[in-house]
Amino acid sequence: MTGIAIITAGREDAYQDYLHSVKGGHDPAEFDGFLSETEREAVTDQDSGCVHLWGTSVDSKWQSVEPGDIALVYRGGKYIAQATVVRTRDDLELAEHLWRTEGNPWDPENPWRYLIFLSDVEEIDAGIESFNDLVGYQDNYIPQGFSRVSDERIRRLDADFESVETAVNELTGSGVRVHEFDDEETDDDPAIGTNVELGQQLVGASHAGDRYEELEELVAKAFSRLGFEARWIVGGDDTDVEITAPIHSIVEVKARSNGTLASPDATRIAGHKDRHGADHAIVVGPGFAPAAIEDADRQDLVLLATDHLREVLARREQYGVSPEVLATYLTEPGAFQDDRLDQLDEQLRTRLSGTQDLVAVMEALQRADAREGTAENLRLILKGMYDEDRVPDEHVIEQSLNLLAHPSIQLAEYVDGQYQPTTTTANAKVALRRFGNFIDEVDAGDEEKDV
């Protein structure tokens, strides 16, 4: 969860340090010999071309600061600047190199060795009273030195404003707004419709250069529909969508009226990925030029055209494929093309052809009591029902349970850490026949009985 770090620049020397190191920034060449080329690129603001940072001696508060946190600069009864934390670093030698200069009250016993690298520095004008009211501080609270808003207050902000970023944006008029999406919310949105309809909207918006914000929101909703936890990030120089579970990935969204993205900005995307501490980076667009496709693997990017995203949405709706399965295909560097879609289809055929396993799991669920609905317990029950060679392993049982409990099937439900049946085995067999394209029908000669 995004945190809030408070930098104080009340004393004149601290204010001058703010003007020089935070607002103005340093030439990246000043960090030669202290940072590697990769590290220097990661902390250099893409817009200003400078390295913006602050140093503190308060390691207890500094240790809790993470990339992506919001930094606010306080001076004289108001907050005068806002920025985003890029990285932190404990580096006494670099701190001395930058700030142990004539006129600076450097204290060898309390050096400013704990560094916070920043980006997107913007001047703001937010009164201390308004900030105190926002986070729940007493009216007369005044920050004394470097500090960080407690996690409890951050959680309340996140709950009240949907995100910490949105709360701070409403106070300062700066930074980004973040909207969280979950599949229940998007399922209930009549403007979106089915996954197929959502896919059609995606393709249309991606070919219209003036619908980029709409496209960003649609992409966030699409990943939510696929079962991922997704955040739509609006405004500022940041990524467009962030997936936080079950994978951590940023998603850059591009619209092109001509239908083709010539080349993604790999350097900027790498900066966004680093800022969020993400493991993957996905670029969604209407289509990609051959050169971009050839370079995607080398640049550690996944290129996903909106027509392919539409196809993935359709498969999620029809077959209940889990986000964990989809993540395998959506995070492999390179372009998601027809061959990956074919691989996904083949996996679905293999997985969903096991009707016998699905029915066996349903029968075991019928026999299990309310506290036995786990893959491990169900396998023990199945051993008492069938020959050993017919009993699926725990991994297969777990997959079957995930599928049976998917909202598009709803033959089981997950309650308090256990799976429970929602219908009889006989009804389940009837329901499973609806998926005949990929699941072999239950043998009509099987004895259909309630267990």
Helices (H), 67-210: 92-99, 128-135, 151-161, 164-172, 183-187, 195-206
pLDDT in tens, 322-350: 899 999 999 999 999 999 999 999 888 77
Rounded to the nearest 10°, the torsion over CA 388, 390, 396, 400 is -130
Helix axes of 306-319 and 195-206: crossing angle, nearest 10 degrees: 180
Percentage above 90 pLDDT, the chain: 68
For 27, counting Cβ atoms within 10 Å of its Cβ (0-12 exposed, 13-18 middle, 19+ buried), the class is: exposed
Cβ within 8 Å of residue 446, ≥6 positions away: 359, 429
Which pLDDT tens digit goes with each residue over 80-99?
999 999 999 999 999 999 99
Question: What is the pLDDT, as a whole number, of residue 437?
Answer: 42
Tokens 């809030």: give the residue: 4
- Could you please report the per-residue DSSP string of 233-260? EESSSS-SEEEEESS-EEEEE---TTS-
pLDDT at 78: 97
- Residue 439's pLDDT is 45
As given in the structure block, the two tokens for residue 249 are 């990935």
The arithmetic mean of pLDDT across residues 134-161, rounded, is 95
54: pLDDT confidence band, cut at 50, 70 and 90? very high
Q: Which two structure tokens, joined as six digits, stand for 59?
A: 């390691």
Min mean pLDDT across 103-112, 248-257, 295-304, 395-404 is at: 395-404
The per-residue pLDDT for 435 is: 53
Question: Contact, 20 vs 27, CB < 8 A?
Answer: no
pLDDT score, position 443:
43
Query: How confident is the model at residue 303, as a pLDDT?
Result: 98
pLDDT, position 183: 58
N-term to C-term CA, the chain: 46
What is the per-residue pLDDT for 447? 43
Cβ proximity of 360 and 380 under 8 Å: no
- At residue 431, the pLDDT reads 78
Q: Which long-range contacts (CB under 8 A, 24 or more apart) does 243-247 make?
A: 243/282, 246/323, 246/324, 246/327, 247/279, 247/280, 247/323, 247/327, 247/330, 247/331
Read off the pLDDT of residues 165-185 as tens digits, 9 standing for 90 and up. 999 999 999 988 999 887 555
In 3D, which of 73, 99, 97 has the Cα closest to residue 85? 73
Mean pLDDT of 142-152: 95
Contact 435, 317 (CB under 8 A): no
What integer pLDDT is reported at residue 217 of this predicted model? 95
pLDDT exceeding 70 applies to what percent of the chain? 92
pLDDT of residue 344: 93
- pLDDT score, position 333: 96
Residue 439's identity, in one-letter code, is I
Is the Cβ–Cβ distance between 53 and 21 less than 8 Å? yes
The tokens of 421 are what? 């049946």
Which domains are assigned to the chain?
Answer: 4-175 (3.10.590), 181-350 (3.40.91.30), 353-435 (1.10.10)
Task: State residue 449's pLDDT score.
Answer: 36
One-letter identity of residue 142: I
